[in-house]
Amino acid sequence: MPIDPVCKMEVEKEDAAAETLYRGNKYYFCSEDCKDSFEKEPDKYSEKKKKAG
Ligand SMILES: [Zn+2]
C-alpha cells in the first residue's frame, strides 16, 4: 500500500484524495493539504537518499 510521504499514513490508491507524479514516481496523499505540502517541498518528502554529511 502506498504511504503518504507527508504524514506517513497508508493510503489506498482508490481512496487517495490526491496524487502527483514527481521524478517518475507516483505519490498518493490522504488529503489535498498533504499534496500541497509535498508540492511546496518535494525534495523534503520524496524518498530521495540523503547525502551523508
Ligand atoms: Zn496525509
pLDDT tens-digit series, residues 16-46: 999 999 999 999 999 999 999 999 999 999 8
Distance 51 CA to ligand 1 centre (A): 25
User: In the predicted model, what is the mean pLDDT of residues 6-16?
Assistant: 96
Distance 17 CA to ligand 1 centre (A): 9
Distance 34 CA to ligand 1 centre (A): 5
Distance 52 CA to ligand 1 centre (A): 27
With a cut of 80, say whether residue 48 has pLDDT above it: no
Residue 18, phi-psi category: left (phi > 0), alpha (psi -120 to 50), beta (remainder): beta
Residue 49, pLDDT score: 60
Beta partners for 4? none
Neighbours of 33 (CB within 10 A): 13
